[in-house]
Each structure stands twice: as C-alpha cells, then as structure tokens.
Structure 1
Amino acid sequence: MSSYLAFRYIEREDMDFYRNTRHHNFVPLPLEQRTRVATAEEIDRELTKIFERIGAEKLGLMLSGGMDSACLAAYMSGCDAYTFRFEGALFQHELKRAEYYADTYGLNLHYIDIDWSTIERYLAPVMRAKGAPVHSIEPMLYQAAMQAGGDGIERLIIGESADLVFGGMNQLLSRDWTVEEFQDRYIFTKPEMILNEPEDMSYLFEQYRQEDGKIDFLGFMDNVYAIESPGSYQNAFGAAKMPYTDPHANLVMANELDLKRVRNGEPKYLIRDLFKMKYPAYPVPDKFPMPRPVDLWFEKWSGPQRKEFRKDINMDLLTGNQKWQLYCLEQFLEMYEPEERRHNESYE
C-alpha cells in the first residue's frame, strides 16, 4: 500500500497484496537496443522507418493536445485517431488542438466520451489485470482500447515515452536536488499521512544518493519513472487485448541532455524542433499532463473508511489525483479481501 501511494506502482517484484494477485512491472527496452538520435531530422528519419515496418496493420493513434502524439500524427495520414472528450465540456483546449492535428494530416478522429461511468465499468478489469490498484488514467485507456478494437484497429500508437526519453519532465529536471528534497517532491502521496501502518519508502531514493548528498535524479527517473508511467498503458491495453507501440521508446538521445535548455523553458527541445517541422504554422503547445477530471469527481468525497486508513486524514490537503489513489486502493482491497477470506477458509 505504501509503495502504491508513493510511486503509483508496486516497486518490489516479490511483493503482492494477496495470494491470488500477481503484479508485473513494465520493463523498458534496454538502451543498447535503441537507436541514438541527435537532431529532429534524425528522429524524423527513425520514426519514418518504424511506421514503414508496422504499416501493414490497421493502426490507431491515441491523440491528445500535446506535441508528442501530434508529431506521430504526421506519419499516420488516413489512419484512425482517438481523443478523450469529457463531460461538461472540460479541457476544450486539448480537444481543439487534437482536432487541428487530425485535420492537418487527414486522420479520422473518433471521440472517447468519458464520465464517471467509465470508472464504474472499467476499474475492476484493469485492477485485476495489474493485480494492484491502478493509475487514474487506466480505466479511460481501457475504454479507448475497447472502442478502437470494436472499430477494427489492430494496434494503437502512443507517444507517452517522449517525456522520459527527451527531457520532458521539466519540474523534476528544474534543479539539482538533495535526496531529501527530491523524495519530498517526487512522492505522489505520503503513506504516513494516509495509512495506520505506513512503510518507509526512502530506501528507493537512497539507492541514488551521491557522495555530495545530491540525488542522481536522471538515474532515478530512468529506472523508476520509466517503469511506472508506461506500465499504465501496457496494463490497460493488455487488459483490452490491444497491442500498442510507443515509437519514442525505441529511441535514445545521442548526446547528454542539455539541462540548461530544459531549465530555460525548452523541455523536450528535440521534439519541439520536430513539432515545428511538422506544424510550421502552429505554435508549440505547452506541456500538460493527460487530462482527467479527478478534481471534479472527488470534490465532495469524504475519504476512505477501511481500517487500514487513518481516521484523521485531512482531505482538503489532497489533490484530486491523491484522492483517486485513496479511492482506488480502497476499491482494490474491497474487491480482493472476500476472495482472500474464502481462500483462507478453504485452506483451513
């Protein structure tokens, strides 16, 4: 529970919640198997090769308003694209940008209409597939994959790995951190604020401590964030039996990341250059996380009630994404505890 709250995944492979749950963490492609790229022109060349290899399949694209999927749209003319559309006309700026990208390259755009019923219908399937509580985007991704599969799509393309590969996590890259500072910044929800019996998660950060007390934050992100974030897509798509490809995950920067450029307002500067090549008349969009209306959904939620959770949690201090973690963790425990009880009674 502490690992899920802190990192949004179960960091230890040898740990599981119950006897009949098994979680499996995403394993990124080894660096030596990736193609090194130093310029936007080299990225363009390699992406062209990737799409030539998979072009025989009926492809779909998960298209957001960001630059990563927008760049991939440039190689998928005539294909189907899928973008989230939320109740109450939320995130219209994202939707309008996705529509512009689709129009520019002739993609057939489909809308995936999202409301709370998405969570009610699809939370259990993705939790069972993962054997653990999940990221708030996973029920939405499951719905997208199921809808695309119904349309005959054989493979969904995503651009999620660009942030990690090309230096897009500008907040985490914004400065050099001590281990303690980075731990405080990175942990999603502090277990000690939530659980009656929290576990100390600092051991994972300590593995990246340097002699000067600073943390190797690039190494941490390459080995921790690289598992958590793509794993959400892998699990949701896998539960829907939909293959996916993240072309950016096949690449690696040939030169050391220029932190000065990132810190001066150019995160993912190589992808920004590629976007300018593909959309010369359109301004480079600011970086935003994949939208999801968790603040609205959990605005009036009073919090978890199970015995594992503290009774004095100040819900006003939590963001919508943090409230999601508490809700999802409680739903997971409620789903599996009766099965575990029946297993124990049968064993006895």
Structure 2
Amino acid sequence: MIDKDFCMSSFLALRYVEKSGVDFSYGIKYRHPEVPSDLNKILVNSSSDISDAIDTQIIEKCRAYKKIGILLSGGMDSGILASYFPGIDAYTFRFLGGDFNSDELKRAERIAKTNNMILHYVDIDWNTVMGNIRPVMLSKGGPVHSIEPQICQGALQAKADGVDLMIIGDASDYIFGGMDKLLSRDWSFDDFIKRYIYVDPFLVLKSPVSVQYLFDRYRDGDSINFLEIICKLSAQESYGSYDNAFRTAGLDYFDPYERLKMAEPLDLKRIRNGESKYLIRELFKMRYPGFCVPEKVPMPRPVDFYFSNWNGPLRPEFRDDIDISQFDGNQRWLLWCLEQFLNMID
C-alpha cells in the first residue's frame, strides 16, 4: 500500500514508519522494524543474573565466528560487555577531531586498555554522513535515524579489518530503565504524546496525518502505559536503526542484552531518585571496581553543528511558514533526511 502522507508523518513523529506494508512509493519497499519476540526471553532479577545470562549467550552465539569486534562508547552498557571479551578489537566513534565527545573518548580508551583491547577510532564528519546516507536509506526503503550512517561506517571499517561479528549494547536502555526522562513521572495521555513525538507533523507538513491512534492502544483514561510504549515502540525504532545499519554494511551483530527481561517490574522510585538502570550500575561496579559509574548519554552525533546554518526544507510537501529556529539539531535531521529521501525517490 502506498501512502506517502502517512509515511512522512509517521517518520517525523516516531522516527520510523509504524504500519507494516505501507510504503512511500512504488518500486521501493519500506522494511518495517521488528521487536525481538518475547519467546525464549531470559528472566533476570539481579546484576549476577545479567552476568550469567551474558556468559551463557556468549558461549552459544560467538563460537561460530572467527573475529569479534565491539562498538565501544564510554558508557555502562558497552563497557560491561567489553569486560566479557578481553583482547578483541573495539571501535569508538570520534567526531570533529575528538572535541565533540572528548570525555566519552577518555572513558572508552580506559575501558579498552583495562580489557587489553585493540582500540580503533571511527572518525565521523559530514562527509561520512553523505557517503552513507543513500545506501542506508535504500536499504531501509525510507529516511533514517541520524545514528545509522555512522553505525554503518563503523561496521564497514570493522568488516574491512576482518571482523565478522560486532557486539553492541543497545537494548539495555529499554529493558533496564535507561529512558530516565520518559520514566521521570506518571504522565497524562496528552502530555506524554507531546513529550514523546519527535517532530509534530502538523507543524511542518502540508498534508499531515495524526499518529494518535498508536498511543490510543496504550491509553488508560487520562493516563497512558508509558512503560509498555518504551518496551515496544521505543525499542522497535532503535532496534530497526541498528539492524538497518549493519544490514547495509553486510556485517552480523549481536546484542547480549536483547534476550533479557526483568523478572520483576522496574523500581520507578529508584530510577526517579537518580538510579537509572540500577541493575546495570551494579554490574558495572562488579566488573570495574574502582571505576566511576558513567552516566547515560545518547550515542553522540553533532547534529546541532551540522545543521546550525540550515534554513529548512524546500520541497512542496513541507509548509512554507516553518520557523526552523524552533527545532533542535535532532529534529532538523529528521526534516532534512525526509527531504533527501523524497528527492531520491522522485
């Protein structure tokens, strides 16, 4: 089914096309992201349970591969996983000469050294984005998240080094309470939608389509089941971004957190008191005694820098009265990327 108006609105609001089988145009099919099945989930109730589950999966999954690499940031999730893979190759993103995320680089360097890893920098700039944007969009059949071109670059670099499996730690946020801003309070239905949607299609498109139907599925009177949304919608969008980047590069990847599930509900009081991902924090302390626990930060990408002088989209699908100054770098990426994809398919 072709419904360009819906696809544009869904991408801007959610960062992916929510309805399976709905495409932007004939001749290019959108690959709808899927959340891993709840079947065969490994229930965990402590940091020790998580550690045992990682160990078990490593034995099951990794023995078939000759050379393993890891996407290593300066954060808890990849740092923990690195401790189970001493001596492998680690790949760390570096932007704008290393100034953009210098603190994270230092933490990644320390983690790599502690685990006797060979650390490779993946240097990212606007040329990297432009070199990878078309392949990742063609692979997905639509516009993409701003992390996809750089993940693809990292995967390509690792593949050229002979890596045939890359370890990632994306799923931890959605399972263990890393989305602390979304978990910060009990939301009303309307307030949550305003907070969750990335770009309101009605502010920027001439023919916007509402995506409220999606949130209505999780509505409970004036409230909303935001925990279920994080586990399903947020995870679906993020998993799809990583999957598409690695598919584009032709490299297998493995996330040991992906099969895990909390045996008990999240302790929202602990999270709201500053202990986001409290079980992961405990595991990091176990694996790195003497290290300071790093606070959660999103995968860095200097979109504010990239789009500081961008004047906004010009295609006829977009409104003529957009005040681009009201949008941050991540929102400008969505508008820019959507326009790039529309230009590509016309």
TM-score normalised according to structure 1 size: 0.95
Letter in 1 for 2:245: A
**Which residue, 126, 136, 146 being the options, matches 2:136?**
126
Q: What is the CA distance between 1:273 and its match in structure 2?
A: 0.3
- Structure 1, gaps ≥5 residues long: 338-348
Tell me, yes or no, if the aligned pair for 2:21 and 2:32 is still in contact at 8 Å. no
- 2: CA distance, partners of 1:168 / 1:220: 14
Which residue does 1:176 correspond to in 2?
Answer: 186
- Cα RMSD of the aligned pairs, angstroms, is 0.9
**Partners in 1 of 2:47 and 2:295 — Cα distance?**
18
Q: Distance in 1 between matches of 2:212 and 2:34?
A: 22
Match of 1:290 in 2: 299
Could you report, residue by residue, the CA deviation over 1:151-193 in whole angstroms, capped at 9, with x for unpaired residues? Answer: 0001111000000011110000011111111000000011111
Q: Distance in 2 between matches of 1:336 and 1:30?
A: 33
- Aligned-residue offset at 1:56: 4.4
Matched, 1:278 2:287: yes
For the residues of structure 1 that align with 2:156 and 2:228, how far apart are their CA atoms?
A: 35
Query: Corresponding residue for 2:71?
Result: 62
SS in 1 for 2:136: helix
- Residues 154 and 243 in structure 1, CA contact (< 8 A), matched pair in contact too: yes
Q: Is the 8 A contact 1:83 1:109 kept in 2?
A: yes
Aligned to 2:38: 31
How far is the alpha carbon of 1:26 from its aligned partner?
2.5
Are 2:150 and 1:140 equivalent residues in the alignment? yes
Asked if 2 retains the 8 angstrom alpha-carbon contact of 1:25 and 1:227, the reply is no
SS of structure 2 residue aligned to 1:83: strand
Give the partner amino acid of 1:140: Q
Residue 199 (structure 2) aligns with: 189
Which residue number corresponds to residue 94 of structure 2? 85
SS in 2 for 1:78: coil
| 2:5 match | none
Residue equivalent to 1:74: 83
Q: Deviations over 1:189-208 (max 9, x none)?
A: 11111111111111111111
Task: State the shift of 1:14 in Å.
Answer: 2.5
What is the rounded CA distance, in whole Å, between the counterparts of 2:36 and 2:91 in structure 1?
26
Residue matched to 1:4: 11
Pairwise CA distance, 1:15: 1.1
Cα separation, 2, equivalents of 1:16 and 1:28: 19
Separation in structure 2 between the aligned mates of residue 178 and residue 24 of structure 1, nearest angstrom: 32
> Which residue of structure 1 lines up, in the alignment, with residue 49 of structure 2?
42
Q: Is the 8 A contact 1:66 1:287 kept in 2?
A: yes
Look up the equivalent residue of 1:310 and give its one-letter code: R
1:28 positional shift: 2.4
Matches of residues 99-110 of structure 1 in structure 2 within 5 Å? 99-110=109-120
**Identity over aligned pairs, percent:** 49
1:232-287 per-residue CA deviation (whole Å, 9 max, x = no partner) reads 00001001111111100011111111111111100100000000001111111111
Q: Give me the whole-angstrom Cα distance separating, in 2, the residues matched to 1:15 and 1:153.
A: 35
In the alignment, the residues of structure 1 paired with residue 299 and residue 20 of structure 2 have an alpha-carbon distance, to the nearest angstrom, of 27
Task: Provide the residue aligned with 1:312 in structure 2.
Answer: 321
Q: What is the correspondence of 1:147-166 to structure 2 with a 5 Å cutoff?
A: 147-166=157-176
Query: How far apart, in 2, do the equivalents of 1:26 and 1:12 lie?
Result: 10
- Indicate conservation of the 8 Å contact 2:71/2:90, yes or no: yes
Kindly report structure 1 stretches of 4+ aligned residues shifted beyond 3 Å: none
List per-residue Cα deviations over 1:288-328 (Å, max 9, x = no partner). Answer: 10000000000001111100111111111100000001110
Structure 1 position 198 matched with structure 2 position 205: no
| Pairing 1:208-227 to 2, within 5 Å after superposition | 208-211=218-221, 213-227=222-236
Which of 223, 227, 244 pairs up with 1:235? 244
| Distance in 1, Cα, partners of 2:64 & 2:138 | 32
In the TM superposition, residue 25 of structure 1 has moved relative to its aligned partner by: 2.4
The question of whether the paired residues in 1 share the 8 Å contact of 2:21 and 2:30 is answered with no
**Other structure's SS at 2:91 match:** strand
TM-score, normalised relative to structure 2: 0.95
- Which residue of 2 is the match for residue 342 of structure 1? none
Q: Following the alignment from structure 1 to structure 2, what is the Cα–Cα distance between the partners of residues 215 and 7?
A: 17
Say which SS state the counterpart of residue 258 (structure 2) adopts.
helix
The alpha carbon displacement at 1:90 in A equals 1.3
